[in-house]
Amino acid sequence: MTVRIPLDPKKFSDVLGAMLGLNKAIVSPGLDKKLLYLVELRVSQMNGCGFCIDMHTKDARLDGETEQRLYLLNAWREAPMYSDRERAALAWAEAVTTLKDGQVSDAVYQQAREHFDEHELMKLTLQVVAINGWNRFCISFNATPGTYVPGSLRKTGVAQATAAH
């Protein structure tokens, strides 16, 4: 697969800068980094974005996430190693990504509200919007899975963003 347009943040600073701005708002004090990795990875799995799956798996490992939790993320409902808060975040992320029947169900919303205050749920939703956006950039322009260097985003000062695309 040939990269169609390299996602170079210097060349496309206006477009990718806007995306990075979303990520900066998300990583400001609020949600736990491990929780955000799970959300990014799960949404990327749902969307089939190989580059983002590679990136977020590598960075999650670097930040201490276990192999078992990463391997079982596709089956998070059955796997006992996720907290109730993580389950609520994953259910919310899936519902916002798919918008089944054009909505997020009241049950999923109530589950999320049991574990997240209004501000946290707004940030979590922005995270889902952002990773869906990054997935679409990476898939559309054929970002190459396997090329991401773990931790390279830290060097840019923008954690949780995909500037390295």
CATH 1.20.1290.10 fits 22-154, yes or no: yes
Its pTM stands at 0.90
Taking only the tens place, the pLDDT of each residue in 55-106 is 999 999 999 999 999 999 999 999 999 999 999 999 999 999 999 999 999 9
In the chain, where the domains are located = 22-154
In percent, the amount of the chain with pLDDT more than 90 equals 79
Nearest to 25 by CA among 96, 125, 149, 132: 125
Q: How confident is the model at residue 152 (pLDDT cuts 50, 70, 90)?
A: confident
Cα separation, 104 vs 133, in Å, equals 19
* Distance (Å, whole) CA 69 – CA 31: 18
Number of Cβ within a 10 Å radius of residue 1: 8
